[in-house]
Structure 1
Amino acid sequence: MRGPNTTHRKYSTDNLCLTGMASDNGLASLGPQGAAAAAHALSLPGEAYGNDSRVEVMWAMKAYNHAEVYFNLISSVDPKFLKLTKMDDKIYESFREVFKDLDIRLLREDDLKSDKAKEVWRPFCNQFEGLVEDFNYGTLLRLDCEKDYSEKNTIFATRIQFFAVEIARNREGYNNPVFLSRKSKS
């Protein structure tokens, strides 16, 4: 996910598979009208589509593009200075109050997906409904914060889970190795 020459990577997350979704084959290939139509389609409620695989691909493309932008951001800017939302302080405080002992450096799928974890995550996430835009949209989250997105290092999560974990990683210094490794290569 490092720049425009990454169009042939493959990322699987749950039932989503992204292959060649960067700018060559993604939204840019749709043209202005197609991209506008895709954006409109993504704004409609899920019930309007049923099991339309085209919508799943559009969501996958959107999640991939978000992940790519974010990784480039933490590679280019010292993560401790990043503000991801207007509510970073509230998200972080609430996250660390609820998930005091969660190892955010190296997440496990069970930390987010087990039945026990879901029981804790659900009320945490729902407190941000109406406060954080698209709080429950799907996005990609790295399991090992010192590594890039890859099939083995990526999990599908809600946007508020992404914000909570990444805000904590930025504030607690866990994303520094990504920034420092890119900086040392410059």
Structure 2
Amino acid sequence: MDLKDLSLDAARSIAFCLSEPAEKYENDPEVEFLWAMKAMEHAEVHFNLVSSVDPRRLRLTDHDDRLYTDFKKSFPDFHLSPLVIEELKSDEAKEKWRTFMKEYENDVADFNYATLLRIDANQDYSETNTIVVPRVQFVVLEVARNREGFNDELRAKYGKKEA
């Protein structure tokens, strides 16, 4: 099923289901499918955006400047691409990230919503190049990638070719 084939009512139904508390669903396969559809739609929109405009000028939130400054202060040696998974998923890293992300709970919409992130910034989303992270972690890492030029190559590689 392609997301653009969904009716407005179906899209609203998906949005409503995904706004309910997670405890209500207990690994319901239908909800997992809906989450996957929404996550893929978000990934597709984001990738189309960074591959069609100058990523260095792109603003993902009203808080990009603060997010980036705080990120560089909190994670000065973080590898933006390719990601070092332990810098995100080890017990020590999870605790540090949890503290960092909590500061943005009211600033980044759906701050802890599971979101797909590319491991290698020069590649498209794929099964081997994607991990799931909280939304605020996705936003701050993509803001940093944009500002530091890690997404620059995408427009040349994947962007629409002019006739």
Band the TM-score falls in, shorter-chain normalisation: over 0.9
Unmatched 5+ stretches in structure 2: none
- The alignment yields a C-alpha RMSD, in angstroms, of 1.5
Instruction: Choose the corresponding residue for 1:62, options 33, 38, 42.
Output: 38
The answer for the alignment partner of 1:93 in structure 2 is 69
The answer for the alignment partner of 1:13 in structure 2 is none
Q: How does 1:70-85 map to 2 (within 5 A)?
A: 70-85=46-61
Q: Contact 1:80–1:173 at 8 Å: present in 2 too?
A: yes
For 2:57 and 2:4, locate their aligned partners in 1 and report how far apart those are by CA, in whole Å: 30
How high is the TM-score relative to the length of structure 1? 0.82
Q: How does 1:47-58 map to 2 (within 5 A)?
A: 47-58=23-34
Unmatched 5+ stretches in structure 1: 1-24
For 1:66 and 1:49, locate their aligned partners in 2 and report how far apart those are by CA, in whole Å: 22
1:50 Cα deviation after fit: 2.0
More helix by share: 2
The answer for the alignment partner of 2:118 in structure 1 is 142
Structure 1 position 115 matched with structure 2 position 91:
yes
1:119 Cα deviation after fit: 1.5
1:142 Cα deviation after fit: 0.5
**Aligned partner letter, 1:69:** V
Secondary structure, counterpart of 2:127 in structure 1: coil
Q: Contact 1:28–1:35 at 8 Å: present in 2 too?
A: no
How high is the TM-score relative to the length of structure 2? 0.93
Secondary structure, counterpart of 1:140 in structure 2: strand
1:71-101 CA distance string (max 9 Å, x none): 1111100100100001101111111111100
1:182 Cα deviation after fit: 3.5
For 2:77 and 2:127, locate their aligned partners in 1 and report how far apart those are by CA, in whole Å: 26
Structure 1 residue runs of 4+, over 6 Å off? none
State the identity %: 49
